[in-house]
Chains A and B, each alone.
Chain A
Amino acid sequence: MIQQVENPALEIHDLTVSYDKKPVLWGIDLSIPRGALCGIIGPNGAGKSTLIKAIMNLVDMNSGYVKLFDQTLDEVRKKVSYVPQRESVDWDFPASVLDVVLMGRYANLGLFKNPRRADKDAALKALEMVGMEKYSKRQISQLSGGQQQRVFLARALTQNADIYFLDEPFSGVDAATEKAIFQILKNLSKDGKTIIVVHHDLQSVEPYFEWVILLNLRLVASGPTKQVFTPALLEETYGGKLTLLTEVGELVKKGEFEAREKQ
């Protein structure tokens, strides 16, 4: 059940990605409507983060293309915001909360320019939105996991983007933070922003997301939650029927083939 939409916010066409020669995403082809609050769901190692990284051009694609608002990433970069996994950085880095949030404004500043007062205002406003305004001077290593996640979200909010990609924003955070973050995402979506979230907690899929992508090395389903989040499709996503695909992947790696032949 893969529902394609007209005039999508995100369109992925025939995307294949490999890590170390081993294909981890096979022929992904989907589109997401504008303004959707969308969850990417799948078991561990299904390639959820890889999918987002491929969209963000952080990993090389073997084939296919990605379009955001019918344009390439380079053309719409300023409208795109990305929240990496919290664990992807070293929180011992010598910086304050405000320093990190201000990094969201670097794109608009350009080279050689230091953050202006307006950028500081924007950063403080974003911190207020995530309920962290009291922590602006705090050294980032002193934050709890939930607070770190809020800081990352605040950094994304300062970008005033039209589409947000969040990689596991709810992993390892407390219940209050999860609720607060979800509320912010919901408000953004109400304002017409498109939100795409890598998510692993099946319990909260239905209340959180209106659009769901089921992923396990290949696209199982993409569509409105009601039609996609069904026992049959979940069984297909999480069930162990994919050993064949994994084994072929290993063979490709061993033989050092390219996942797609070069034309």
Chain B
Amino acid sequence: METLIEFFSFKYPNIKYVVFGTILLSISSAVVGCFTFIKKKSLVGDVISHAVLPGICISFMVSGSKDPFLLIIGAFISGWISILVMDAIIRNTKIKEDAATGLSLSVFFGIGILLMTYIQHSGNAAQSGLDTFLFGKAAALVGKDLMAFSIIAVIVLLTVFFFYKEFKLISFDQQFAKVIGLPIRRLEMVLTSITVLAVVTGIQAVGVVLMAAMLITPAAAARFWTDRLSRMILMASIFGAFSGISGAFISYSAPSMPTGPWMVMVLSIIALISFFFAPRKGIVIRQWRRFSIQRQLLEENLLKAFYRIGENSGEHFNRVAVDDIQLIRNFSPAQLAKGLRKLRVNGYVQRANGSWYLTNEGFEKGKRITRLHRLWELYLTKYLRIAPDHVHEDADTIEHVITPELEARLVKLLEYPTEDPHLSEIPK
């Protein structure tokens, strides 16, 4: 707790730099990442992040300094060239997009490593620390880096703000955008430029390898929670910012912990949580829905069995033994016990001396399911010309699906029938 207060009081300017720096760069990469994600160009971020390395090295070799602005210019240029090379390969050769992506990524990264090794062995004293680009150095952000980050983050965010509607249209329907006269090529150039910028700043914190995660993970997680692009961008930036703060805090409270990888870890946890628990799209909720449908089917099938027994004996509220139910339909003993328990809890059946009987509500419900079953059988034979001995299984499913509105339409369409194809009565 004390650490937490100490951390957020920003007593040391260094913490302030690290926190603001990581937040800014996480937000800008999350926002840009939303567009690469919906454009299905997720690997582009990976290409750019690997391809900036030669630019950084050349920039250092030419200028001899580690000034962040100079390095960023070099990184920006080589990041851009890698995209141009990739596009040129796709357009002019038979090589497809995936291979072109891999080619561009590895060739540029190879050149980068080559140059970096050369610099490291050149005896230039100023080179120490240049290799932090490989793995990031978020905890060592200094005032001048923060300046560079802030400027770039503002450029990136303002660009998305002003071109939001155009970026959205070219991501959704490029042909239509072109026909209504949007300057597609220029817009794509702007979008690629801010992607490169976001990547260039991001790799200073998390390094080349983890950069793709910073771009794509917030967008992928946010997509689980919303179906609107604007909200998706907002949520992705919140996820990004949160990961930035957490990463900085974790490495502050446990100094041996690196900031960048922890940011990615936090993002991955957010993504996992979204994957499992997001409303509507999360795995848990979908599993739960499947489970409750199973339960509904079991209960309704049981009530239907009760109704059939009553029909056969002519008395619907008599006591029914478990074996009688098994004769109508083969439930597994475990399921039978579970279903009967649920039905009793919900007030559809009662229990007395080891046998069971329907309550009034249970009778009505069993009757309705039986009615729907027979109505559907009749519909299938009459309108779909399916043989009467082939309709039972289909009706077993559909009886659980039909709504009261559909039921009314079905009854009217079949002209208020009284008998199903097997001459059983359709109960009213």
Interface residues, chain A, CB within 8 Å of chain B?
53, 56-58, 74, 77-78, 80, 82, 84, 88-90, 93-96, 99-100, 103-104, 106-107, 109, 111-115, 139, 141, 155, 159
B175 at the interface (CB under 8 A from A): yes
- Residues of B149-204 contacting chain A, CB below 8 A: 162-166, 168-169, 171-173, 175-182
> A residues within 8 A CB of B226?
94
> B residues within 8 A CB of A106?
165-166, 169, 177, 180, 182
- Residues of B207-234 contacting chain A, CB below 8 A: 223, 226-229, 232
Instruction: Report the Cα distance A106→B183, complex, angstroms.
Output: 12
For the complex of A and B, list the 9 residue pairs with the smallest distance between their C-beta atoms, beginning with the closest.
A107-B180, A139-B227, A82-B179, A77-B181, A94-B229, A89-B173, A93-B172, A56-B179, A84-B175
Number of A-B contacts (CB under 8 A): 78
- From B171, B173, B176, B178, name the one whose CB has the most chain A CB atoms within 10 angstroms: B176
Q: Are A95 and B180 within 8 A (Cβ)?
A: no
> A residues within 8 A CB of B172?
89-90, 93, 95, 100, 103
Instruction: Report the Cα distance A11→B410, complex, angstroms.
Output: 54
A-B contact pairs, 26 of them (CB 8 A): A56-B179, A57-B179, A58-B179, A74-B181, A82-B175, A82-B179, A84-B173, A84-B175, A88-B175, A93-B172, A94-B38, A94-B227, A94-B229, A95-B168, A95-B172, A96-B228, A100-B172, A106-B165, A106-B177, A107-B182, A111-B166, A114-B165, A139-B227, A141-B227, A155-B176, A159-B180
> B residues within 8 A CB of A74?
181
Q: Are B173 and A107 within 8 A (Cβ)?
A: no
> B residues within 8 A CB of A111?
162-163, 166
> A residues within 8 A CB of B163?
111-112
Q: Chain B: interface residue count, which band? A: 20 to 34
Does more than half of chain A's interface fall in helix, strand or loop, or is it mixed?
mixed
A173 to chain B, nearest CB (A): 18
Instruction: Report the Cα distance A16→B226, complex, angstroms.
Output: 46
Chain A residue, CB-CB nearest to B175: A84
Q: Are B176 and A103 within 8 A (Cβ)?
A: yes
Instruction: Report the Cα distance A53→B228, complex, angstroms.
Output: 30
> B residues within 8 A CB of A56?
175, 178-179
Chain B residue, CB-CB nearest to A155: B176
A122 to chain B, nearest CB (A): 14
Which of B38, B169, B232 makes the CB contact (< 8 A) with A103? B169
Q: Are A93 and B38 within 8 A (Cβ)?
A: yes
> A residues within 8 A CB of B180?
77, 104, 106-107, 159
Chain A residue, CB-CB nearest to B183: A111
Which of A89, A104, A107, A114 makes the CB contact (< 8 A) with B181? A107
A87 to chain B, nearest CB (A): 12
Which of B171, B181, B182 makes the CB contact (< 8 A) with A93? B171
Chain B residue, CB-CB nearest to A103: B169
Q: Mark B16-55, 1 if CB is under 8 A from A, else 0.
A: 0000000000000000000000101000000000000000
Instruction: Report the Cα distance A106→B172, complex, angstroms.
Output: 13
Since A93-B38, A94-B223 are in contact, a sample of 18 more A-B pairs with Cβ atoms closer than 8 Å, ordered by chain A residue number, is A56-B179, A74-B181, A78-B181, A82-B179, A88-B173, A89-B173, A93-B229, A94-B227, A94-B232, A95-B168, A103-B173, A104-B180, A106-B165, A106-B166, A106-B177, A106-B180, A111-B166, A115-B165
> A residues within 8 A CB of B166?
106, 111
A91 to chain B, nearest CB (A): 10
B188 to chain A, nearest CB (A): 15
Q: Are B179 and A95 within 8 A (Cβ)?
A: no
> A residues within 8 A CB of B162?
111-112
A105 to chain B, nearest CB (A): 9
> A residues within 8 A CB of B168?
95, 99, 103
> A residues within 8 A CB of B40?
90
Instruction: Report the Cα distance A155→B173, complex, angstroms.
Output: 12
Q: Mark B226-263, 1 if CB is under 8 A from A, else 0.
A: 11110010000000000000000000000000000000
A199 to chain B, nearest CB (A): 19
Chain B residue, CB-CB nearest to A111: B166
Instruction: Report the Cα distance A112→B165, complex, angstroms.
Output: 8
B90 to chain A, nearest CB (A): 13
Instruction: Report the Cα distance A82→B179, complex, angstroms.
Output: 7
- From A74, A82, A103, name the one whose CB has the most chain B CB atoms within 10 angstroms: A103
Q: Mark B357-398, 1 if CB is under 8 A from A, else 0.
A: 000000000000000000000000000000000000000000
Which of A57, A109, A155 makes the CB contact (< 8 A) with B165? A109
